[in-house]
Amino acid sequence: MSKISIVIRSKNEQKWIAETLSRIRSQSLDAEIVLVDNNSTDDTVEIAKGFQLDHILNIDEFLPGKAINLGVRKSSGDYIVCISAHCLPTDQRWLEKLLESLNFTDKNKTTSIVAAYGRQLPLKSTSELNKRDLFNTFGLDNRIQFKDFFFHNANSIIRKNYLEEFPFSNTLTNVEDRVWAKQVIDSGLQIGYSADATVYHFHGLNHGNESGRLKRVNTIIEPLYKPTYNSNSEPRTNILKSKHKFNVIFMTKQEIDLQKINALSCELQKIPDYNVGFFIVQNVVDQQVLNDRIRLVNRSRFSNIDKVGLFQFIKEFYESNSQDFEGIDYLLFLSEKCLNNLNDIEVLWEKTKEDFLDFSFMGKQIYKNFWTQKGSNLEPVFDEIYLREFSTPIFDVSYGMGLFISVDRVRSSDIFGGINGLYEI
């Protein structure tokens, strides 16, 4: 059987790379895997090494076509599959369906398909704009393109002999796939589209637009695609291939006895992904190891704990205990407020994994008007004041009930810059 080589482009993709590679490894067809990384400063390459890839290459100057061409030169397959590191195959026949699309036929025309691309679907946490664009761009019918030169190489397959003769541009900064596809069509060859070779693509195709209007459009469009697209049956935890672990930072001003700490740890251990808990309390011996799941930290060790913000404290705690967070993907912050809602923590963790969230917490919608003191006067917090039926809800959040933050976000300078989500209670 002809050999397939998969070329993956990456740049700081530690959030996605394990999931992507796990799904590729579970395909019905075997393939050579080549990673072309652009000087990642996170753990992308280290994670990839754990999957024993055939080749891991580095490129200093990232140009999308140039990266693919580098991977192609190192590949030995008859077919080149291109996939972005943050695109997740939806099932085990993704690769098989891509290969089949090169052999689509038209009863009225002679065909010679040299490349094909597959459907891209949004995740639940994808922005409303990107959802709309993915739905509108990637349809439900397989097709052969004789004139249309749309082509998207984030999820695609190309005959290697053609790609070697006509490589992607080494100089274009974007739309290199569209320019290349125009050459294919102009030469009298065809491009295939497979609605069955699907991937989840969080980032989508474009950026920016008015979210309210987009949500209304998606409310209309999304049901039209069911049952082929069901936002409630996307990557659920029972089909996730990669594993995630979290450590707990529990902090309270109250004195709390060791029996309660041990009981809380035992409850957390019911969540298989829980690793170690750091319990920052008043009345304990600092750095005491109670057992392999509990580390006690005396609160007095942090003199500025009440003067810095919560997220600054979490960041500093992580940095000072980084050796205990190796191989850990998330931190879970808790306070004594969590003691009566431990079941909700497990639900929040499932949601965090299912929706690939970087920052998740519990809260409830409220429709209230808020005012604040400005000098000797009062001013509304928001510029406009609406009746409830016309207002946008805000959320009353309690971080102490459960706050998951990805290690990637803790390390970054923008802790809120990833995918954020809320579990309503």
Average model confidence (pLDDT) across the chain: 86
Most confident range, picked from 23-37, 174-188, 227-241, 335-349:
23-37
| CA atoms of 77 and 14, how far apart (whole Å) | 26
Question: Which pLDDT belongs to residue 224?
Answer: 59
Question: Which pair of structure tokens corresponds to residue 88?
Answer: 């997740």
Are residues 139 and 264 located together in one domain of the fold?
no
Contact, 126 vs 420, CB < 8 A? no
Question: Which pLDDT belongs to residue 201?
Answer: 93
H or E stretch covering 6: strand 4-10
Residue 123: what residue type? Answer: L
Q: Is residue 241 part of a domain?
A: no
Are residues 260 and 228 located together in one domain of the fold?
no
- pLDDT tens digits, 303-320: 777 777 888 888 888 988
Give 113 or 256, the one with higher predicted confidence: 113
Are residues 301 and 350 located together in one domain of the fold?
yes
Query: 6 pLDDT exceeds 90?
Result: yes
| CA atoms of 46 and 52, how far apart (whole Å) | 11
| CA atoms of 170 and 184, how far apart (whole Å) | 17
Mean pLDDT of 56-64: 92
- pLDDT tens digits, 206-251: 644 556 655 665 676 567 566 665 655 555 433 455 578 899 999 8
Please count the other Cβ atoms lying within 10 Å of the Cβ belonging to residue 414. Answer: 7
Question: Which pLDDT belongs to residue 302?
Answer: 76
Number of domains in the chain: 2
Q: Three-state DSSP class for 294?
A: strand
- pLDDT tens digits, 145-201: 999 999 999 999 999 999 999 999 998 888 899 999 999 999 999 999 999 999 999
- pLDDT tens digits, 98-152: 999 999 998 888 889 999 999 999 998 888 888 999 999 999 999 999 999 999 9
- Strands 288-291 and 371-374: what pairing? unpaired
Residue 423: what residue type? Answer: Y
Query: 391 pLDDT exceeds 70?
Result: no
What is this structure's pTM?
A: 0.77
Question: Which pLDDT belongs to residue 238?
Answer: 39
Q: If pLDDT is split at 50, 70 and 90, which confidence band does 385 have?
A: low
| CA atoms of 353 and 358, how far apart (whole Å) | 9
Q: Three-state DSSP class for 246?
A: strand
**% of the chain at pLDDT higher than 90:** 47
Are residues 217 and 266 located together in one domain of the fold?
no
Instruction: List strand residue ranges (DSSP E) for 106-263, in order.
Output: 113-121, 143-145, 155-159, 190-201, 246-251
Question: Which pLDDT belongs to residue 97?
Answer: 97
Q: Is residue 212 part of a domain?
A: yes
Query: 74 pLDDT exceeds 90?
Result: yes
Are residues 111 and 147 located together in one domain of the fold?
yes
For residue 393, give the DSSP letter.
P
Last residue in a domain, options 167, 202, 236: 236
Q: Three-state DSSP class for 247?
A: strand
Are residues 253 and 228 located together in one domain of the fold?
no
Mean pLDDT of 28-34: 96
Query: 364 pLDDT exceeds 60?
Result: yes
Are residues 271 and 372 located together in one domain of the fold?
yes
Last residue in a domain, options 199, 218, 236: 236
| CA atoms of 291 and 382, how far apart (whole Å) | 49
Last residue in a domain, options 236, 266, 291: 236
Question: Which pair of structure tokens corresponds to residue 297?
Answer: 């930290």
Length of the chain: 425
Cα-Cα-Cα-Cα torsion 61, 63, 65, 68, nearest 10 degrees, comes to 50
Are residues 208 and 251 located together in one domain of the fold?
no
Sequence-separated (6 or more) residues with CB below 8 Å from residue 152: 117, 120, 177, 205
79 strand-pairing partners: 4, 159
Q: Which CATH number does the domain housing residue 160 bear?
A: 3.90.550.10
Please calculate the CA angle 200-206-173 and round it to the nearest 5 degrees: 100
Are residues 53 and 138 located together in one domain of the fold?
yes
Are residues 154 and 291 located together in one domain of the fold?
no
Question: Which pLDDT belongs to residue 209?
Answer: 56
Are residues 272 and 377 located together in one domain of the fold?
yes
Q: Is residue 207 part of a domain?
A: yes
Mean pLDDT of 18-42: 95
Structural domain for 138, as ranges = 4-236
Are residues 324 and 280 located together in one domain of the fold?
yes
| CA atoms of 229 and 199, how far apart (whole Å) | 12
Please count the other Cβ atoms lying within 10 Å of the Cβ belonging to residue 91. Answer: 17
Give 363 or 258, the one with higher predicted confidence: 363
Mean pLDDT of 63-86: 95
